[in-house]
Structure 1
Amino acid sequence: MVLQRMQTETETTALIYCRVSTTQQKTQGSGLESQEHRCRQYAENKGYHVEMVFPDDASGGGDFMNRPGMRAMLAYLDAQKGKPYTIVFDDLKRMARDTEFHFKLRREFAERGATIECLNFNFENSAEGKFIETVIAAQGELEREQNRRQVKQKMIARVEKGYWVFHAPVGLKYATDRVHGKFLVPDEPIAEYLREALNGYADGRFRSQAEVQRYLESCAKFPKDLPNGKIRAWKITKILRNPLYAGYVQAKLWDVPLRRGHHEALISFATHERILHNLDAGARPAARKDYNPDFPLRGHVLCSSCGKAMTGAWSKGCRRHYAYYRCVTRGCSLQSKSVPRAKLEDAFEDVLKSLQPTTQLFGLIKAMFKDAWDKRLEQTHAEQDRWRVELKAVNGKIEDLLDRIVEARSDSVISAYESRIEKLEREKIRLAEKAGAPLPNEARFEECIELSLKVLSRPWEIYKNGSYAVRQTVLRLVFSKPLTYSHEGVYGTVETTLPFKVLGGINNEKCEMVL
């Protein structure tokens, strides 16, 4: 019994450390399990008692302190101060594939009274043993640097060929294809939300990044990054500036300029350029965050006295609440004088109904649209020829600047040339996209005319039956400026958009049509 207790007291206690370089190797392979299995067999054959196993799935770039498992093991040794341990590694390269950090880790273990053993290497304190250990550690560092270089070279070549090689951004995901291999494809329905957000910001439907943010936050399936269902503002900016959504790839850190990618674009490059222009132009006034569907005309109707936008709110009476529009501008003669919502909106109904053209005009309207379509088509043909000429001129400028870079000796001059070439490359992409864009056919005309006639023929019906967002869209499509309302119940001169102005002019002149 005494002998058994003495054997137990002298039994060596071991800690096992296992490491693979990536999480993918951990989830899709069996590297950690096989390392642990071999280390446990080694410890069993040696008669060691395995107390803990510390796994890692990160390379750490050679620095062992960048690995959570290694930091946890060193902290465990500190917590068990004074207790001798033997650290078991499957292979010497699992310690640190960097000569400096290899011996630094040796010192860390020595300071904690721990010894190390390796299945594939016998540590010796002799000069020859230290030399061999140094050589093997240096070889591990060499292999790591060579692998890093090879991976980087392959990634650069992949980007140069038009493929994205980094983490897929939101709205895109990786798929495998027989021709392209691993490449990006739209991740629906998130991609559809992004199309709406990007196009909306480009054409002004979303007037600020805050509106884009609120729209994406309202999409139930769009990924949120905060527990309260919100999206960080900097992520919206990153989405808006990302050329991947326009079908282009680049790697500035590797000096790979913008180029056409093989993945499907969510928006055109021209749309991407408009987005960048809107971002660089500065902030635009955003729609109210506290919008109220009970008052759809708030912000679209001005006070006749001060010309400022009227607001709307509910007022509490003795028995129930009442809806009013009012001007709240300080110093206005009509400040806080309320107008019943029904009175103001009934008068607006009359205005919108008066803009609805008669059915007799629609034959002429369609003919006008067809004539305008044909003229625009002819103009587009001419513009495409002009864009091809401009594209050729841009290519000539780029070649000229490249020749100048070869002859230049000043770094500042070379940098200026490179900056100019980068701008010309973006101009080249824009012109190439325009020059190569397919022209719309007759079916496209019928589709567009149907949507246009629907808005022109029934603005009031669309407004009355639409949601708050639809109503706001109708107001922007019909009226070029906000309406002015007086407390006598009369709207001032109505400023409409061009299509309704044309229809109004035709209607006032009582033009006769040949049907």
Structure 2
Amino acid sequence: MSIPENKMMLAIYLAAPEVENDRRALNTFYGIRRAQKEGRLMGTASYGYINKCTEDGRKYVALKEPEASNMLWAFNEIAKGQYATNQIRLKMNAMEGAKISRTSFYRAIKNPIYYGKIFVKAYKDEEACLVEALHESLTSESLFNKVQMVLNGKTLAERPKGKIIAANEFPLRGFLKCSRCGGHISGSGSRGKKNVYYYYHCNSKCGYRHSSSKVNLAFENELLKYQYHDGINKLLKEVILTNLA
């Protein structure tokens, strides 16, 4: 380093590998984008699909059973709008096949690859677009779109008899609205040092939160104020059990 000109050579030696790495990353990015435009599904296959390779070394994506059938069942169930999405996921996980987490399931049912499309993100002057995929589709486009409408809450008027499966600690979940903001009340458990404590809470950021045991007890005390004839009690019981079964 006693010669000043050598510092310039050192800078070139240090910068050259970084430039090469950046060029390789850019080439990889353009290669993946070009493959997506050609309809090829890149990366690890989504739930219900599996990465395969032909004898000549060409990679492709194929349906994987029983996960593919399970996922198709889930799409059909969500489209009916009778059960909450996570309840359908739990039912699907009870079937034969690999389990799927809540986050992965929500990401999957919004992915257009299941009806034979690949989403290509916008880049510079190029707009985002959907292209025809080379892999076999799992659902129809109409079924996929109907599921998206259910997820966006646009078919509530068409499914007034939707059923809600509630835990024993939250029998009123899905039937309560927040007194502060009017939003829907959900429920969850909070683990303490020794026990799990259950609360009803609002889905918004208003901060409403109340012990589930106290809310349930208040509801039971309110019901005790009403006395009906035995015939009416029997009819009411049948109606309630039918809607909660």
- Amino acid aligned to 1:221: G
3-state SS of paired residue (1:184): strand
The answer to whether 1:187 aligns with 2:79 is no
Instruction: Kindly provide the amino acid, as one letter, of the partner of residue 133 in structure 2.
Output: G
Would you say 1:170 and 2:47 are equivalent positions?
yes
Equivalent residue for 1:279?
Answer: 151
Relative to the length of structure 1, the TM-score reads 0.31
- Partners of 1:265 and 1:125 in 2: CA distance: 67
- DSSP-derived class of the 1:277 partner: helix
Partner of 2:228: 334
> For 1:214 and 1:271, how far apart are their aligned partners in 2?
21
Match for 2:34 among 154, 157, 167? 157
The corresponding residue for 2:184 is none
SS for the counterpart of 1:207 is coil
State the partner residue of 2:196: none
Cα–Cα, structure 1 residues 256 and 185, in superposed 2: closer, same or farther, change >3 Å?
Answer: farther
How much has 1:190 moved relative to structure 2? 1.6
Which residue number in structure 2 is paired with residue 263 of structure 1?
Answer: 135
For residues 67-216 of structure 1, what are the structure 2 equivalents within 5 Å? Answer: 126-177=3-54, 181-204=58-81, 206-216=82-92
Tell me by how many angstroms 1:253 deviates.
Answer: 4.2
> Which fold has the larger relative contact order, with Cα–Cα distance below 8 Å and residues 6 or more apart in sequence?
2
| Whole-angstrom distance in 1 between the partners of 2:146 and 2:58 | 32
Structure 1 unmatched runs, 5+ = 1-123, 225-230, 292-327, 345-484, 492-515
Please provide the CA RMSD for this pair: 3.5
Residue 256 of structure 1: how far off its partner (Å): 4.1
Q: For residue 109 of structure 2, give the secondary structure of its aligned residue in structure 1.
A: helix
Aligned to 2:113: 244
Contact 1:160–1:256 (8 Å) recurs in 2: no
Larger Rg: 1
The percent identity for this pair of structures is: 16
- Aligned equivalents of 1:334 and 1:203: distance in 2? 35
Question: Moved runs in structure 1, 4+ residues, more than 6 A?
Answer: none
For residue 221 of structure 1, report the CA deviation from its aligned partner: 3.0
3-state secondary structure, aligned to 1:174? strand
The alignment of Structure 1 onto Structure 2 pairs a total of residues equal to 178
SS at match of 1:163: coil
Counterparts of 1:259 and 1:137, CA distance in 2: 41
Deviations 1:119-153 (A, max 9, x none): xxxxx564343322211222212212221221111
Q: Distance in 1 between matches of 2:55 and 2:133?
A: 17
Partner of 1:446: none
CA distance in 1, matches of 2:2, 2:65: 61
Using the alignment, how far apart are the partners of 2:56 and 2:118 within structure 1?
18
**Structure 2: tracts of 5 or more residues without a match:** 169-219, 240-245
Looking at secondary structure, tell me which structure has more helix per residue. Answer: 1
